[in-house]
Chain A
Amino acid sequence: DTEVTQTPKHLVMGMTNKKSLKCEQHMGHRAMYWYKQKAKKPPELMFVYSYEKLSINESVPSRFSPECPNSSLLNLHLHALQPEDSALYLCASSQGVGREITGELFFGEGSRLTVL
């Protein structure tokens, strides 16, 4: 059973649409991540939130807008995407607290995005 829940599992959108991906974890983790993954490739880091503050933005285009409403939730707002943005979007979390840091990432199942 996954402890990081992502919705929706599949999303098809046009280039003019606005949609959002959602992620939730209840493990008390204080760091949450968005990754983009193309087929048979490793995940590429997009954003990191640490203690609900954006700590890393890997030069992601502004058509992707992250939001962390609270320590359990992470959203990724999508607007005016391009076909090349079609990918699997993975949410992850990690402990991120002092001596408890193990570096382990806990992943959700992902949201498969198709941009037409």
Chain B
Amino acid sequence: AQTVTQSQPEMSVQEAETVTLSCTYDTSESDYYLFWYKQPPSRQMILVIRQEAYKQQNATENRFSVNFQKAAKSFSLKISDSQLGDAAMYFCAYCRKTSYDKVIFGPGTSLSVIP
């Protein structure tokens, strides 16, 4: 069975600094998606970044980038120039390409941004 692990329940970062959130996963599949979702205190969860497993290039979205290590089954999220609005729960997630409707979420990391 596939699992997603986030070993940091809580993290904090100084405004304008850089922080990295960790995620590891376990799967025997070779083709899948990985995601980072953000859920601010207002509750709506939104996609931050998505990575396709067969793409070796790490995905980047503005201040957000990932370090995807397929062999190590690691998928960390780096937030650069942290802003107050980045404070949220961050969930790492996985789904098989053939089973897009079964997304597996990690337990989450609560990120605080210190002004």
Contacts and interface: CB of A to CB of B under 8 A. Distances in A.
Interface string B51-81: 0000000000000000000000000000000
A33 interface: yes
Contacts, number: 59
A31 B103 CA distance: 13
Q: In the complex, which range does the number of interface residues on chain B fall in?
A: 20 to 34
Interface in A22-45: 31, 33, 40-43, 45
Given A41-B107, A42-B106, A103 B45 contact: no
A71 interface: no
Contacts of A107: 44-46
A45 B44 CA distance: 16
Interface of A: 2, 31, 33, 40-43, 45, 48, 50, 55-56, 88, 90, 94, 96, 101-110
Given A43-B45, A88-B43, A103-B103, 12 more contacts: A31-B101, A40-B108, A41-B107, A42-B105, A43-B91, A50-B101, A94-B101, A104-B47, A105-B103, A109-B43, A110-B43, A110-B44
